[in-house]
Amino acid sequence: MTDDDVPAFLAALGLPGIVDAHVHFLPERLQQAVWAWFDSLSPPWPVTYRLSARQRLATLARVGVRHHTALAYAHQPGMLSFLNDHTLGLAAEVPAVIPTFTIYPEPGVAAETARCLAAGGRCVKVHLQVGGFDATDPRLDDAWALIEQARTPVVLHAGAVKDGSGNERWCGPEPVRRLLDRFPGLRLVIAHLGAPDCTEFVTMAEDHPGVWLDTAMIFTDPPYLGPAPVHLIDRLGALGDRIVFGSDFPTIPHAFAAQVAGLVQVGLGDDWLRGVLWHNGVALFGL
């Protein structure tokens, strides 16, 4: 399957398109810095869609993505309003973009969270490894409470990636369990199926109705985040209504279509695919 094949594939399933829960849109200078960091890895991480923001939006529309997030995340204090103005502004300009914002443990985060929710924010992005913080940092308590009350989904990167960036100590299932113990009403979308801790995060989703999973970069061939968790396929089938499609576009080392084809190869059937590609995302984000 190529990118050009995806729209016909979706039409054959009877779907109007894809809801992609895991798409990044950073301010331009920050995006270039992120790509430069990926270029510096050994070996370099390939960036398939190294395009302008307008070209990236057009590419997503061309492959059939009808709704997608605009994930951004802070790696230091003082970035929140800058990032959130960018992502919420993009959503105001482009109907396909789900209004997205981020949080970071710093003074004023609760007020910034309230501002973003009042502006229509429908998704929160949190990246524990890049941010380098504990999910239960008390400076986030009021922000988490607001997000919990609003029932706003949180796309949470909680898996540790061994890429030299460090901060692995903030990652894994245990910090997420502590967060849910304190704020059990949160709706968490665990990015990348929680890789490399897929089994533990699937168990968490089975135990907690507020935990969802996204599929970003998990079932591609070849896999890039470790071996595909084929031992979990039956359990993923049972969790079908709380699994959403994610691509991690644009900084992915393969074509967008590889992720769609990978889900087909999982072999859980057309109804499961319809849920993951469209219906579950529509329900999660209230589209």
95-146 tens-digit pLDDT: 999 999 999 999 999 999 999 999 999 999 999 988 889 999 999 999 999 9
Least confident of 63-72, 85-94, 130-139: 130-139
pLDDT band at 165 (very low <50, low <70, confident <90, very high): low
Query: Given a cut of 80, is residue 244 above it in pLDDT?
Result: yes
Q: Are 149 and 114 in contact (CB under 8 A)?
A: no
The CATH number of residue 77's host domain is 3.20.20.140
CA end-to-end distance (rounded Å), the chain: 28
Per-residue model confidence (pLDDT) at position 221: 79
Partners of 189 in the beta sheet?
155, 212
Q: Given pLDDT bands bounded at 50, 70 and 90, which one contains residue 32?
A: very high
pLDDT for position 113 = 98
pLDDT digits (tens, 9 = 90+) for 169-217: 888 999 999 999 999 999 999 999 999 999 999 999 999 999 999 999 9
What number of other Cβ atoms are within 10 A of residue 145's Cβ?
16
Give the list of residues 6+ apart from residue 121 with CB closer than 8 angstroms, or none.
84, 88, 99, 100, 101, 152
Q: How confident is the model at residue 163 (pLDDT cuts 50, 70, 90)?
A: low
Is the pLDDT at 80 greater than 90, yes or no?
yes
Burial class (CB in 10 A: 0-12, 13-18, 19+), 173: middle
% of the chain with per-residue pLDDT over 70? 99
Kindly tell me the burial class for residue 2, based on how many C-beta atoms sit within 10 Å of its own C-beta (0-12, 13-18, 19 or more). Answer: exposed
pLDDT for residue 226 is more than 90: no
- Whether the per-residue pLDDT at 160 is higher than 70: the answer is yes
Tell me the average pLDDT across 70-90. 95
Rounded to the nearest 5°, which phi and psi values hold at 44? -60, 145
| Cα–Cα distance for residue pair 124/45, rounded to 1 Å | 26
pTM: 0.95
- Which of the four pLDDT bands, split at 50, 70 and 90, describes residue 74? very high
Domain that holds residue 11: 3-285
pLDDT at position 260 is 97
The tens digit of pLDDT for each residue in 4-15 reads 999 999 999 999
* Contact by Cβ (8 Å): 194, 202: yes
Task: Give, in order, the Cα–Cα distances in Å from 207 to each of 136, 189, 196, 204.
Answer: 20, 14, 19, 5
Domains: count for the chain: 1
* Under 8 Å between Cβ of 13 and 270: yes
Question: pLDDT confidence of 37, banded at 50, 70, 90?
Answer: confident
Contacts of residue 115, defined as CB under 8 A and 6 or more positions apart, other chains included, come to: 84
